[in-house]
Structure 1
Amino acid sequence: MRLGGRDLDRLFHPTSVAVVGATADPSRVGARVLANLRRHHYLGRVFAVDRRAVPVDDLEVVPSIEALPLAPDVAVLAVSAQNCPQALDALGSLGTRNVVVLASGFEEVSDGGALLARKLGRSARRHGMNLVGPNSQGLWSLSASLVMAFGSETARSELVPGPVAVLSHSGSLGGAVATQLQDHAVGVSHMVSLGNETDLCLADYLEYLLDCDEVRVVACYVEGIREGPRLIRALRRANERNVDVVMLPAGLGGQARRTTRSHTGRMLTSAHLLFAVCRQHGALAVASVRELVEACRVLALSGTRLPARPGIGMLGISGGMLALMSDSCEREGLKLPRLRQETEGRLRTILPPFATVVNPVDVTGAVLEQQGLLSDAIDTIRADQGMDILVVGLDNRGYARVSELGAPSVAQRSATDKPLVEVLWQPAPLRDRSMERALAAAGVLVVDEPAEVGTTLRWLASRSTAEPDLDAYSGPTFHSGPQLEDWANQRRVLEGLGLTVPAGVTVQEPSDFTQADLDSLGYPVVVKPVPNLVQHKSDHGLVFMNLWTLSAVTQALRTLRERLPQTIPLLVQAQVSGVEVLIAARCDQDWGPVLTMGSGGVMAELMADSFSVSIPCAASQIAAGLASLKLGQRLAGYRGGAPADRRALVTFACRLQAFFLAHERLLKEVELNPVIVGSLGHGPYAVDFLAQ
Structure 2
Amino acid sequence: MPDLDSLLKPRSVAVIGASTQPDKVGGMPIRLLRELGYAGRIHPVHPSASEIQGLRAYPTLAAIGEAVDLAIVAVPALAAESVMAQLAQNGTRAAIFFTSGFAEVGEEGLAMQQVLAASARRHGVALLGPNCLGAMNLRERMFATFSPIPLTGVPPAGDVGLVSQSGAFGAYAFALAREAGLGLSHWVTTGNEAGLQVADVIGWMAQDDDTRVILAYMEGCRDGARLRHALAAARAAGKPVVIAKVGTTEAGARSAQSHTASLAGEDAVYQAVFDEYGVHRAHTLEDFFRLGYTLSRGRRPARWHSPSGLMADAVAPVAIVTVSGGVGIMMADRAEQLGLPMPPMPAAAAQALRASIPFASTANPIDVTGQVVAQPAVLFEAMARVATCGEYGSVVAFLAGGANAPRLWAELQHTIGALHEDRHAAPLLLSGIVDDDKRAWLEAHGCLVFREPAHAIEAVAALARAAALDATAASAPAGAAASLAAFLPTVPDNAGALSEFDAMRLLADAGVPVAPHGLARDADEAVSLARRIGYPVAVKLCSAQVLHKSDVGGVALNLGDEAAVRAAFSAMQAALARAGASLPFEGVLVARMVRGWGELMVGVRRDPVFGLVALAGIGGTAVEIFRQVAFGLAPLSPARARAMLEQSRAAVLFEAHRGNPALPLAQAADLLARVSQVAAALGPRLDTLEINPFIIGADGPVAADAVITWLPAQAPD
**Is the aligned partner of 1:570 residue 2:570?**
no
Moved more, 195-204 or 411-420: 411-420
Conserved 8 A contact 1:109-1:262: no
Q: Displacement, 1:554?
A: 2.7
Q: Which residue of 1 aligns with 2:329?
A: 323
Residue among 359, 365, 377 paired with 2:370 = 365
1:90 has 2:86 as partner? yes
Structure 2 match to 1:555: 567
Partner of 2:714: none
Question: What is the alpha-carbon distance in structure 2 between the residues aligned to residue 302 and residue 629 of structure 1?
Answer: 32
Relative to structure 1, the CA distance from residue 25 to residue 683 in structure 2 (aligned partners, 3 Å threshold; closer, same or farther) is same
1:11 counterpart residue number: 7
In the other structure, the counterpart of 2:169 is: 173
Displacement after TM superposition at 1:654 (Å): 2.4
C-alpha deviation, 1:645, in angstroms: 4.9
Find 1:292's aligned residue among 288, 292, 302: 288
Q: Which residue is equivalent to 2:26?
A: 30
Q: 2:70 aligns with which of 68, 74, 82?
A: 74
8 Å CA contact 1:499–1:683 kept in 2: the answer is no
Q: Report the equivalent of 1:440.
A: 443
**Structure 2 residue matching 1:571: 3-state secondary structure:** strand
Tell me how far apart the structure 1 counterparts of residues 353 and 268 of structure 2 sit (CA, whole Å). 45
Query: In the TM superposition, what is the alpha-carbon distance from 1:294 to its structure 2 partner?
Result: 0.3
RMSD (Å) for aligned C-alpha atoms: 2.4
> Any conservation in 2 of the 1:504–1:573 contact (CA below 8 Å)?
yes
Selected match of 1:343 from 339, 343, 349: 349
d(CA) in 2 for partners of 1:584 and 1:405?
59
Comparing 112-121 with 461-470, greater Cα deviation is found at 461-470
Q: Return the offset for 1:390.
A: 1.2
Number of the residue aligned with 1:687: 705
1:435-464 Cα offsets, whole Å, 9 max, x none, are: 534423433111121233332111110334
CA deviations on 1:517-557 (whole Å, 9 max, x unpaired) are 32222222112222754222234443222222333333333
Counterpart secondary structure, 1:684: strand
Alignment-mate amino acid for residue 423 of structure 1: S
Q: Which residue of 1 aligns with 2:338?
A: 332
Cα distance change of structure 1 residues 28 and 374 upon mapping to structure 2, 3 Å threshold:
same
For the residue of structure 2 that corresponds to 1:131, the secondary structure is strand
Partner of 1:417: 425
d(CA) in 1 for partners of 2:657 and 2:192? 49
Q: Deviations over 1:263-309 (max 9, x none)?
A: 21113212232222222212211211110100000111123245133
Which secondary structure state, in structure 2, belongs to the residue aligned with residue 36 of structure 1? helix
2:513 maps to which of 500, 525, 528:
500
Give the C-alpha shift of residue 515 in structure 1: 4.0
Indicate how the Cα distance of structure 1 residues 404 and 613 shifts in structure 2: closer, same or farther if over 3 A, else same: farther
Instruction: Provide the secondary structure at the position in 1 that maps to 2:656.
Output: helix
Please list, as runs of the form range in 1=range in 2, the aligned pairs for 1:138-537 lying within 5 A after superposition: 138-306=134-302, 307=304, 308-353=314-359, 355-397=360-402, 399-400=404-405, 403-404=409-410, 406-409=412-415, 411-412=417-418, 413-424=421-432, 430-432=435-437, 435-461=438-464, 462-463=467-468, 464-473=472-481, 474-475=483-484, 476-481=487-492, 485=498, 489-509=502-522, 511-513=523-525, 515-530=527-542, 532-537=544-549
Name the amino acid aligned to 1:608.
R
Q: 1:251 is matched by which residue type in structure 2?
A: G
- Equivalent residue, structure 2, for 1:612: 631
1:109 correspondence with 2:105: yes
C-alpha distance in structure 2 between counterparts of 1:334 and 1:531, whole Å = 50
Amino acid at match of 2:104: E
For the residue of structure 1 that corresponds to 2:57, the secondary structure is strand
- Structure 2 portions without partners, runs of 5+: 305-313, 711-717
Query: What is the one-letter code of the residue matched to 2:59?
Result: P
Q: Please name the residue that 2:676 is paired with.
A: 657
Aligned length: 680
SS of residue in 2 equivalent to 1:690: strand
1:676 aligns with 2:699: no
Paired residues of 2:526 and 2:588 also in contact (CA < 8 A): no
SS of residue matched to 1:572: strand
- More divergent stretch after superposition (190-199 vs 477-486): 477-486
Question: Which amino acid in the other structure matches residue 369 of structure 1?
Answer: A
What is the deviation of 1:339?
1.1
Bigger Cα displacement from structure 2, 271-280 vs 328-337:
271-280
Aligned AA (1:504): H
The amino acid that maps onto 1:41 is G
Question: 1:412-452 CA deviation, whole Å, 9 max, x = no partner?
Answer: 3221222111112xx66x523xx534423433111121233
Alpha-carbon deviation of 1:90? 2.4
Q: TM-score, normalised by structure 2?
A: 0.90
**Counterpart Cα distance in 2 of 1:497 and 1:677:** 19
Aligned pair partner of 1:538 in 528, 550, 569: 550
Q: Secondary structure at the match of 1:668?
A: strand
SS, match of residue 215 in structure 1: coil
Query: Which sits farther off after the overlay, 524-533 or 482-491?
Result: 482-491
- The 8 Å contact of residues 403 and 412 in structure 2, kept in 1 or not, is answered as no
Is contact 1:645–1:683 with CA below 8 Å preserved after alignment?
no
* Kept after mapping to 2: 8 A contact 1:466/1:620: no
